[in-house]
């Protein structure tokens, strides 16, 4: 890399901190394959334009939008939610959970994944997605309600 | 069971995540290199100016290439030319959208309806105004910022427009994470071109060891006697330097509200998330002589009454007549009927507040003017948060409702309108998407809705849209997401 060490260091630090957030959010929306690819493309775009993006108030949120844009172009009726792969650590989840998540609108699924899958606070999700906290609360509430309904859990 | 679902969600996503390879630095560099290799003229990465120029040229070509689709072959639209493009039939009326040029070719970052006009701020720190989207007037330039230019948030009311810049010792918050003294610098443009400015210090003892403090969701509410500024302040603590007990806070609870309404009128809220090294602080403040506001956890509303009300989580309602002395409101009514959540919205025409309390399924609807409650009815919808949407129109849960002050009636049921809501004069309303790619939803009366694909408005497939009312119509400000963001943002005017 020919860019200055300082910029590289700053961006590397940014990647270290934000790569999981970006990848997880996009994976929650578009599935592992498309989500990871979109996150990688967004980070590449971020490095290309780091002089400008690094000065933004919420560069991670901006790159989420970039990744979102890339993912929407790549997605071709691929499933957005996968079963846990066989080589993943042994874990038991409700068999209907994958289908229930797949049935959620994208926004609700992303918020549910970030809030409950990865323990983000609603404020963090709101800032990252660029929406208000009340909007995140709305998506979370609706998403959980639909999940409960889909899984036959009424309370 | 809900906890079980949450545990299942955590297990599910953690397992998926552990099976996924992280994106490495080498992979990022490789992708950048591949992209440059694939370009017609390979250039080394450090020549960013050249790269930007090349990208700008590509974007320009794409834009120029798109223009014939809008105005006809071989023609480039002259400045201020209105180009009819899209007509949306909505029985019994219709909307026609026309694309207009941004003023002086500048990129508008955010706009508002101010009185009967549309005002917008550009990246060039200019404030433009227009009454029709065609003729633009340069109204003012933003005042010099204390630090680097960063218009964090802009809000308006009446003929005034405010710019809020949150800065710290080293620059705009979020860009740098150093120091423990920050301030919100507020500049207000009156109906003419005169600015007034003030500063709200953000120095909180609890954040003395803050690693990074950021400010977001800033709002300004204009009242008869001054301005009220609200902001969410998020502080990332370096917990290795702070022992939890020193803060007298527990990290065992999923969320724990610590809310203090102090005698000086400031509201300080701290929310502690479980196992999170983050402390969210919300400071709601208002000028000493402001006495007509209602305060909610995330919102403050001006009201036409002499009272203040504050409703927080846990169904605690506080009432004040002067902002100094607070009383808990009558605990009957929505507090007893409460359940999972209690929310409120101001009712501009009824001089009071609409309050909803929900058990997660049904919602009880109440009104209050003085702290006592009037039960309006019960609706089959969870009241996530009531939203006032135009005159006599409310958005509650999954429905749109009309409310005449005494009874509530369904206009639209079971629709997903959790978007940005804009009223447009006597014609109707629009739900604008918060996420790119979502359609705009238009309605003349709150009953019938029509969708318009957001892709109609941008040079890309799924741009982000900001929709602002303009008289009886709308202004649509397009934000290109992703690769085309360097170009001026298209503007559209929608009129019945």
Q: Higher model confidence: residue A103 or residue B160?
A: A103
Residues 6+ apart with CB under 8 A from A25: A35, A64, A110, A113, A114, A128, A129
Cβ contact B161:B183 at 8 Å: no
Is pTM, for the whole model, over 0.80?
no
Q: Which residue of B has its CA nearest to A45?
A: B32
Interface test with B, best of A88, A122, A137, A150 (most B CBs within 10 A): A88
Of A32, A89, A133, the CB nearest to B298: A133
Q: Higher model confidence: residue B469 or residue B390?
A: B469
Q: Which span out of B119-133, B291-305, B371-385 was modeled with the highest average pLDDT?
A: B119-133
Q: Do A106 and B27 touch (CB under 8 A)?
A: no
State ipTM: 0.84
Of A19, A92, A93, the CB nearest to B22: A19
CA distance B8 to chain A (A): 6
Rounded-to-integer distance, Cα B103 and Cα B25, Å: 41
What pLDDT is recorded for position B136?
92
Residues in chain A within 8 Å Cβ distance of B150: 57
Q: Any idea what the Cα angle at residue B383 is, between residues B448 and B268, rounded to 5°?
A: 130
Q: Higher model confidence: residue A85 or residue A2?
A: A85
Cis omega before residue B92 (within 30°)?
Answer: yes
At residue B486, does pLDDT exceed 70?
Answer: no
Cβ contact B462:B475 at 8 Å: no
Q: Which residue of B has its CA nearest to A32?
A: B20
Q: B331 falls in which pLDDT band (50, 70, 90)?
A: low
Share of chain B above pLDDT 90, in %: 1
Cβ contact B472:B426 at 8 Å: yes
Rounded-to-integer distance, Cα B278 and Cα B238, Å: 9
B38 class by beta-carbon count within 10 Å (0-12 exposed, 13-18 middle, 19+ buried): exposed
Cβ contact B489:B479 at 8 Å: yes
Rounded-to-integer distance, Cα B325 and Cα B312, Å: 17
User: How many C-beta neighbours within 10 Å does residue A6 have?
Assistant: 8
The arithmetic mean of pLDDT across residues B21-36, rounded, is: 78
Rounded-to-integer distance, Cα B299 and Cα A134, Å: 10
Cβ contact B266:B281 at 8 Å: no
């Amino acid at each position: 890399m020919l860019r200055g060490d300082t910029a590289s260091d700053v961006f590397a630090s940014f990647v270290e901190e934000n790569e999981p957030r970006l990848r997880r959010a996009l994976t929650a929306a578009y599935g592992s394959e498309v989500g990871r690819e979109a996150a990688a493309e967004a980070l590449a775009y971020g490095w290309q334009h780091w002089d400008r993006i690094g000065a933004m108030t919420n560069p991670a949120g901006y790159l989420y939008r970039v990744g979102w844009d890339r993912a929407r172009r790549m997605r071709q009726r691929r499933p957005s939610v996968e079963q846990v792969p066989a080589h993943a650590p042994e874990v038991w989840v409700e068999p209907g959970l994958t289908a229930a998540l797949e049935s959620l609108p994208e926004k609700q699924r992303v918020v549910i994944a970030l809030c409950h899958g990865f323990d983000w606070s609603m404020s963090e999700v709101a800032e990252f997605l660029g929406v208000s906290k009340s909007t995140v609360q709305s998506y979370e509430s609706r998403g959980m309600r639909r999940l409960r309904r889909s899984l036959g859990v009424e309370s | 069971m809900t906890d079980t679902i949450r545990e299942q969600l955590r297990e599910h996503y953690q397992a998926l995540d552990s099976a996924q390879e992280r994106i490495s630095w080498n992979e990022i560099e490789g992708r950048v290199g591949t992209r440059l290799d694939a370009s017609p003229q390979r250039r080394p990465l450090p020549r960013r100016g050249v790269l930007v120029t090349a990208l700008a040229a590509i974007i320009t070509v794409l834009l120029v290439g798109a223009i014939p689709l809008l105005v006809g072959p071989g023609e480039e639209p002259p400045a201020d030319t209105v180009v009819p493009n899209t007509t949306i039939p909505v029985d019994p009326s219709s909307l026609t959208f026309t694309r207009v040029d941004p003023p002086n070719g500048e990129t508008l970052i955010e706009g508002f309806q101010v009185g009967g006009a549309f005002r917008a701020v550009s990246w060039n720190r200019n404030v433009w105004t227009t009454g029709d989207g065609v003729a633009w007037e340069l109204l003012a330039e933003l005042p010099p910022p204390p630090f680097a230019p960063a218009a964090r948030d802009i809000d308006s009311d009446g003929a005034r427009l405010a710019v809020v810049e949150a800065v710290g010792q080293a620059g705009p918050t979020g860009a740098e994470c150093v120091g423990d003294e920050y301030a919100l610098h507020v500049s207000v443009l009156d109906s003419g071109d005169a600015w007034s400015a003030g500063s709200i210090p953000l120095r909180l003892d609890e954040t003395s060891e803050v690693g990074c403090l950021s400010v977001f969701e800033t709002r300004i509410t204009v009242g008869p006697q001054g301005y009220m500024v609200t902001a969410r302040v998020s502080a990332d603590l370096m917990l290795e330097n702070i022992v939890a007990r020193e803060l007298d806070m527990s990290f065992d609870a999923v969320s724990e509200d610590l809310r203090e309404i102090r005698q000086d009128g400031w509201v300080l809220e701290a929310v502690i998330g479980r196992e999170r090294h983050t402390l969210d602080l919300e400071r709601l403040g208002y000028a000493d002589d402001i006495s007509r506001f209602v305060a909610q956890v995330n919102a403050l509303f001006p009201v036409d009454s002499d009272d203040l009300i504050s409703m927080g989580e846990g169904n605690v309602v506080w009432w004040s007549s002067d902002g100094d002395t607070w009383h808990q409101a009558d605990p009957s009514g929505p507090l007893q009927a409460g359940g999972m959540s209690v929310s409120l919205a101001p009712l501009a025409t009824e001089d009071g507040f609409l309050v909803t309390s929900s058990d997660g399924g049904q919602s009880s609807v109440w009104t209050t003017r003085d702290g006592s409650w009037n039960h309006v009815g019960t609706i089959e919808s969870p009241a996530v948060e009531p939203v006032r949407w135009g005159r006599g129109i409310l958005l509650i849960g999954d429905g749109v409702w009309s409310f005449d002050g005494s009874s509530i009636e369904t206009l639209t049921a079971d629709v997903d309108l959790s978007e940005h809501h804009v009223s447009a004069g006597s014609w109707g309303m629009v739900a604008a998407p918060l996420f790119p790619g979502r359609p705009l939803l238009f309605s003349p009366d709150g009953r019938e809705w029509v969708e318009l694909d957001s892709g109609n408005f941008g040079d890309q497939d799924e741009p982000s849209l900001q929709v602002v009312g303009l008289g009886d119509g709308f202004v649509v400000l397009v934000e290109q997401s992703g690769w085309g963001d360097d170009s001026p943002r298209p503007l559209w005017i929608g009129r019945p």
